[in-house]
Homo-oligomer: A and B are copies of this chain.
Amino acid sequence: MILGKLLIGGEWQLGEAGHFNAVNPATGDTLPVQYSKASAEQISAAASAANIAFASYRNTSLKDRAGFLNACADEIMALGDELLECMQSETGYPRGRCEGERGRTVGQLRMFADYIQSGDHLDPRIDMARPDRQPLPRPDLRFLNQALGVVAVFAVSNFPLAYSTAGGDSASALAAGCPVIVKGHVSHPGTGELVAQALAIAAQKTGMPGGVISFVQGDDKIGGAALINAPEVKAIGFTGSIGGGTAIYRMAALRPEPIPVFAEMGSINPVVFLPETLAQSAEQLATGFVGSLTLGSGQFCVNPGLLIALEEDGLQRFMDTVKTTLETAPAGVMLNQNICNSYQRGNGTFANHPAMELIAEGQVAVQAEGFYAQAKLYSTSAENYLANPELSEEVFGPTSVLVVCKTIDEIHQVISSLGGQLTGTVHGTENELTDNAMLLQLLGQKAGRLVINGFPTGVEVCPTMVHGGPYPASTDARFTAVGTAAIKRFVRPVCYQNFPQALLPEALQNANPLDILRTVDGEKTKTTIST
């Protein structure tokens, strides 16, 4: 049952800074449950409780921590229909999407439970002593990653499960041994609270400290600033807008003790169609594109917002097919009033721009109320695109811009003009791809993930995923928000010099009691060390 409360130090309490309600975006109706907002003092209390929890949680065994992560997954599933129905009412997503996202979220928790038991994230290293080395002996040196400290996670609007309370940021931080404080998103407070309830029960059942997970809400900026500036917080995970993420990044850099922020932000995800492929498969590419464009009402970070093609055979057929396919696409529900307003504004800019032509559009909303988006494809020339930087701004939702180029060199110029991207995609025959090595090089310098002959939507949760990229796709291209490598954001190495065996962490002891792969004198091995 939803309480409208905050989870602080293992206790549910009413927020002291007023109340708010959620809105059903499909109808525009205010939902009945009242949620309470955290005061700055309550945020401080959560940070303090999380830091107390850190002292014990950081020392939990990998097995116990895995048990906790699996219990989190179990308890989220145990929420059953209440979670799915709440999520539907707060997002307008169809039931299938809600179930799918739940599956991804619990799958991610279980993946980290498995992954940490391999010890890979610890990067254990041992350099044996060399007492006879000249001119000075070398001491025994051992290296191990450990948990960074309390992590603050800002939930996102568009993934109430997979990037929010128990999403990728929280799962990877908890897996690393870091307590988490989640700031819920105002668009889905009930979904957020229910998941927090599941995590609190999982913590209790598996004997984790109460402060290992905190959940605070609020529709104003006071709580966010208090969280960013809490001295106990040692890292931040954020998914959202370029403006929001950059502001948090800079606020964190200006703290008395600066802390790292991984913000996954905006991206227009360029998709290049090379001419031979376009000529061969114009209709099929058009259908694939429309599916990717309109998936989840276009509310994906990896939505294809930019198409690039040569003015050659197939392009007209591509545009024609997009037009006829999009004509039958119903308007999609957007997550909230703000996102819907931004979408209208962005479309207004494009629609009124003298350099832009409207190529295709989806259906308008049949509902009088609620927040709906009509899908759009605009077109412009490379020359105009390069001369008007406002045309490369992200319009979050089902809108895309087709840039028509005269030469491959113009395609290179368009790619080079872009900021950092989550993804870069090229459609081409094997010959075309081989002939366009420079194009792949340029895209590779811009993007975190390169896709051949596909569309960027669909982010696998696995060891090889990179969901990040150069700014403004993220605030730090060296990390990813999704996949096992996401844990690297929340660990730091410590070197142990001349430690007696018994005082070393198990992962570094000669006997290798955890039976994990380690780098011993530069070689990867699981063998024990005899002395």
- On whether the beta carbons of B258 and A250 are closer than 8 Å, the reply is yes
Q: Identify which of A2-10, A63-71, A184-192, A496-504 touches chain B.
A: A496-504
Q: Is A254 an interface residue (CB 8 A)?
A: yes
- On whether the beta carbons of A495 and B450 are closer than 8 Å, the reply is yes
Copies of this chain: 2
* Known contacts A452-B500, A475-B258; A495 and B466 CB within 8 A of each other: yes
- On whether the beta carbons of A478 and B491 are closer than 8 Å, the reply is yes
Q: Is A434 an interface residue (CB 8 A)?
A: yes
Pick the contact of A460 from B141, B149, B476, B494 — CB < 8 Å? B141
Q: Identify which of A152-160, A374-382, A516-524 touches chain B.
A: A516-524
- On whether the beta carbons of B253 and A497 are closer than 8 Å, the reply is no
- On whether the beta carbons of A258 and B249 are closer than 8 Å, the reply is yes
Q: What 1/0 flags go to A462-494 for Cβ under 8 Å of B?
A: 111110101110011110100001001101111
Interface size range of chain A in the complex: 35 or more
Interchain nearest-CB distance for A455 vs B (Å)? 10
Pick the contact of A494 from B136, B444, B471, B498 — CB < 8 Å? B444
* Known contacts A148-B477, A253-B250, A495-B466; A503 and B447 CB within 8 A of each other: no
- On whether the beta carbons of B139 and A460 are closer than 8 Å, the reply is yes
Q: Is A143 an interface residue (CB 8 A)?
A: yes
Q: Is A528 an interface residue (CB 8 A)?
A: no
- For residue A485, which residue of chain B has the nearest CB? B493
- On whether the beta carbons of B451 and A498 are closer than 8 Å, the reply is yes
- On whether the beta carbons of B494 and A447 are closer than 8 Å, the reply is yes
**For residue A493, which residues in chain B have a CB less than 8 angstroms away from its CB?**
448, 466, 468, 478, 480, 485
Q: Is A81 an interface residue (CB 8 A)?
A: no
- Give chain A interface residues in 432-457, CB to chain B under 8 Å: 433-434, 437, 440-441, 444-445, 447-454
- For residue A444, which residue of chain B has the nearest CB? B494
* Known contacts A249-B253, A475-B258; A463 and B497 CB within 8 A of each other: no
A125–B468 CA distance with the chains assembled, in angstroms: 17
Given A127-B462, A127-B464, A452-B503, 10 new contacts (CB under 8 A) = A136-B458, A142-B464, A250-B254, A257-B470, A257-B471, A450-B499, A451-B497, A452-B499, A452-B500, A477-B492
